[in-house]
Amino acid sequence: MVRHEESVQIRAKTAAGAAEGEERLKMKQIIFATGNAGKLKEIREIMKDTGFEVLSMKEAGLALDIEEDGATFAENALIKARAVCAASGGIALADDSGLEVDYMGGAPGVYSARFLGEDTSYGVKNRYILDKLAQAQEEERGARFVCVIAAVFPDGREETREAVIEGRIAREPAGENGFGYDPIFYVPEYGCTTAELSMEQKNKISHRAKALNRMKEEVLCRL
């Protein structure tokens, strides 16, 4: 029979254990500060071997309207990760990325999501870029996807990792996979656009995969 004092101790231990367990669980959870479903799908695939559970902001019960008013990918990634870390008290990751087109002086760059208006379809955005480059020769069609992944920790630590994938603007859109500017981003090594690659193939070479893999290896797996 368990005496009253023992039972109080057991309850206290159980509560402490549960709190510890919760703390450990929290350490294994990451909230990804993105509202972009295409990004989240790729990120979950890249993170699946880490032991971390990746929660979307919605799954974490966060409804934040974050103003991305930074001048660089790194600033915007940090703005998003800081906001989610502050609101949740947990580890937050964010991705800020975009397409730089040489012939357009690096545009749309950090404005990639807002280019021609946030609600404008990618069919229209992609057609606009193809038309802009209608007279551009092959060697003038250089472009790259850039991605900065930011991690912000409850103790105030902040990390960023950046990566790019070099390619060219295609002559015509092609492919149904991926999202955003993928149908017009041609990768010479693969002889197709990133929208024609499977997610598995894209996740071997993309800006996002390279930046997130570095964050995984150099930061997250060392926690």
Among 103, 128, 153, 179, binds ligand ITT (CB under 6 A): 179
Cis before 108? omega within 30: yes
Q: Check: CB of residue 167 under 8 Å from CB of residue 143.
A: yes
Q: Is 93 helix (H, G, I), strand (E, B) or coil?
A: strand
**100 touches ligand ITT by CB under 6 A:** no
**39 touches ligand ITT by CB under 6 A:** yes
Scan for tokens 């368990």, then name that residue.
2
User: Is residue 96 flagged as an active site residue?
Assistant: yes
Catalytic residue among 96, 119, 131, 155: 96
117, HSE (Cβ side, Cα atoms, 13 Å)? 6
**196 touches ligand ITT by CB under 6 A:** no
Among 62, 107, 113, 174, binds ligand ITT (CB under 6 A): 113
CB of 147 to ligand ITT, least distance (A): 6
Separation between Cα atoms, residue 106 and residue 123, nearest integer Å: 20
Size of the site for ligand ITT (CB under 6 A): 20
Closest to ligand ITT by CB, 98 or 173? 98
| Beta-carbon contacts of residue 83 (< 8 Å; ≥ 6 apart) | 33, 64, 66, 92
Nearest residue to ligand ITT on Cβ basis: 180
Catalytic residues: 96
